[in-house]
Amino acid sequence: MSPRMSDGMFVTVARVEDVPQGSVRTVRAGDEEIALAHCDAGFYATQHACIHLKGPLGEGHLEGCLLTCPWHGWQYDVRTGENDFDLAIKLRTYDVQVEDGEIRVRI
C-alpha cells in the first residue's frame, strides 16, 4: 500500500473479526483516520472527526446504527452520515466492501 492513494481506490483497513457487530473502531486509510462501524449486518465508514468540535467518533458509542460522539453526545446515522438532530448536518461517508475477510474503504 503506498502512502498516497488516488481517488476511488479501495484500501484494506481491518479484518471482519476486528470490528464485532455493534462496535465502532478508528482505522487508517492512507493518510485519513476513519470511524468504521458494524451494524445492520454491514460495515459503514465515516469521517473520524465529529462536526461539532472534532471529537473522535471512532471512540464513540454505537447503538443500532446511531453513533454518539464521546465528547458532547452529537449523534449520527453511520449508514448515511446524517446528524440525528439536524439532517442538514452530515458526516463524510465512504464506500465499504468486504472481500476474503478484509474490510476495504474507498478513499
pLDDT tens digits, 50-71: 999 999 999 999 999 999 999 9
Which has more pLDDT, 44 or 31? 44
**Does residue 18 sit in helix, strand or coil?**
helix
Tens digits of per-residue pLDDT, 13-31? 999 999 999 999 999 998 9
Return the C-alpha cell found at 79. Answer: 449508514
Does position 91 have pLDDT exceeding 70, yes or no? yes
CA distance 105 to 95: 6
pLDDT band of residue 4 (cuts 50, 70, 90) is: very low
Structural domains in the chain, CATH included, are 10-106 (2.102.10.10)
Does position 98 have pLDDT exceeding 50, yes or no? yes
CA distance 34 to 24: 10
* Helices marked H in the chain: none
CA distance 45 to 12: 12
